[in-house]
Structure 1
Amino acid sequence: MKSAPQILTAAADAIADRAASRDVAAERSMARTVKTFAALTGHNINEREGWVFMAVLKLARAQAGALNPDDYVDGAAYIGLAGECAENVPTMPLEMLNEPVRASETRRVLEAAMFKRPTTHVVQLEFSQEADIAPPSRRQK
């Protein structure tokens, strides 16, 4: 297995290689992808969420079968692309970032995705004082 800096360098190289193979300055197809996805399914996600989805896909694949370094290289690239577009895509309101998030619901959704258990409803995270996880500034000592 490669070291973390090698994985990150390979991820950067993969992003550049995809642009070069398509003869464009920067290959950024996620905006088109999420528009197509919305047209096909009626589900709207933004560009950042599309990149995050792809990173989660790579995490799920990394849990199955033999080691494939590509899962980690591509996952790192997708997180980088999500970060690149995060400044331009609205996310959670700033005041909510200091609120605790219920870990149990988040854990259930991630486990369902990683272990192929279907979910049939939209998940809404709850914010409350009794939550399992809280930002360091809000944790009780």
Structure 2
Amino acid sequence: MKLAIASDHGGFRLKEAVKAYLAEKGLEVLDFGCTGTESVDFPGYAKKVGDAVNAGEAKLGILCCGTGIGMSIAANKLNGIRAAAVGDVFTAKATREHNDSNILCLGERVTGEGLALAIVDTWLNAEFLGGRHAQRVNAISNLEAELC
């Protein structure tokens, strides 16, 4: 599986840890930046990962910032993206199973590395359940089409 990953300065260290962890698991990771802890604006990085997911260059994406919230807000502005800011393993599983999330957003300042890696594992191993959940995901897509 190929994954797209990016961060801003507030999530850089967590991005690097997640990227190394994924590489150890044999997954291909496309890193869209940033490259250090010097201040950068996160929306452009969210767009790069969202575009890679939408274009099929990566199956899923992971974004890291200070809280995960800013990245999720920015990524969710892109049609076809269902980004979820996650801070626990239950939510990681539920957002894949129920919402078919395609981008995971993590917060370096609020989630320790060990928990973040457990969240990543849970999210990657969960699968969309479809059924009644598909109707809701389709409703989100219809809402996007209506608004754009």
TM over 0.5: no
**What TM-score comes out, normalization by structure 2 length?**
0.29
Higher Rg of the two aligned structures? 1
